[in-house]
Amino acid sequence: MSAAVDLVAAKAFFTGLQDSIVAGLSDADGLRFRRDAWERPEGGGGASCLLEEGRLFERAGVAFSHVMGDKLPPSASAGRPELAGRGFEAMGVSLVLHPRNPFVPTVHMNVRLFTASKAGEAPVFWFGGGMDLTPYYGFEEDAVHFHATCKAALDPFGEAFYPRFKRWCDRYFFLKHRNEPRGIGGIFFDDLSEDGFDAAFALTRSVGGHFLEAYLPIVARRRDHAWGERERDFQAYRRGRYVEFNLVFDRGTLFGLQSGGRTESILMSLPPIVKWRYDWHPAAGSPEAALYERFLTGRDWIALPPEA
């Protein structure tokens, strides 16, 4: 087990992952992504790949960033206050896809590496990331497929990882002010470093590498499903929950803004068309009500052992 932090290998993986995902999504949509390279005055930069008004995706963003600075932002050191004030380097890939068809779910994926440094000491590192699915109209086979693929990404590293990261995802992607999950979850992890750099990096590569396998089969099943004004209206309403989470709770959004990141790249995760209503509730027995009753519940889509 190696304790050395290999930033060159990590950057090569993240940039290659962005390229492979953009290629797969371009094939699915039929249109090409716009690539927008940027530099950060405080240090670092990245490339944002964006597709808007596509055949499949109303908006799809796949971003790579590699930034550094003299002081960790509060969002990055909140869980590890002993690191506050250290210099930092952060890199990773983050994506959010907002399809046009309400029967195709929104999806998010992120994988990242942080290092915190202090003169005279070895750098402290940790990996984080995960993926989660946000349907507007739920299908059990889609939920099971997504979670099974997440589990397949983690199982080579130990059977305990999927239950741990699945429950972490359920807790993290939860709108406390609404008392409801953002979607049907997936996996989420942070501060991963305890088994050394090589092990944590391998797990992170596996999560990123399983994304297209987790999502594109769902797209293929739902993209031609007929929809109308009612479904589109409900999609816009539920997208409001996505906006609320990203702007109030999401640590990646907070880190990007606090670290002086590029605003256009940080906020390209937001959907282009959103709607809010006052105290709205779906009609009993409706397909919209089924989303709340059967899917936004934190269900175990794959049998899990009891939580310790």
Better-predicted residue by pLDDT, 82 or 179: 179
| Backbone Cα Rg of the chain | 19
Is residue 138 within 8 A of residue 218, CB to CB? The reply is no
pLDDT at 75: 64
pLDDT digits (tens, 9 = 90+) for 171-213: 999 999 999 999 999 999 999 998 999 999 999 999 999 999 9
pLDDT digits (tens, 9 = 90+) for 110-163: 999 999 887 777 788 999 999 999 999 999 999 999 999 999 999 999 999 999
> 225 an active-site residue?
no
How far is the first Cα of the chain from the last one, in angstroms, to the nearest whole number? Answer: 28
Catalytic residue among 66, 108, 145, 147: 108
Cβ neighbour number for residue 271 with a 10 Å cutoff: 18
- Of all residues in the chain, the percent with pLDDT exceeding 90 is 75
Taking the C-alpha atoms of residue 162 and residue 93, their distance in angstroms, rounded to an integer, is 21
Q: What is the pTM of this model?
A: 0.93
Taking the C-alpha atoms of residue 113 and residue 68, their distance in angstroms, rounded to an integer, is 12
pLDDT digits (tens, 9 = 90+) for 14-43: 999 999 999 999 999 999 999 999 998 888
Is residue 113 within 8 A of residue 94, CB to CB? The reply is no
Helix (H, G, I), strand (E, B) or coil at 286: coil
pLDDT at 79: 65
Close Cβ partners of 54 (under 8 Å, ≥ 6 residues apart): 29, 30, 31, 60, 100
Give exposure, 224-241, as e/b (b: 16+ Cβ within 10 Å): eeebeeebbebbbbbbeb
Token code pair at residue 184: 């049907």
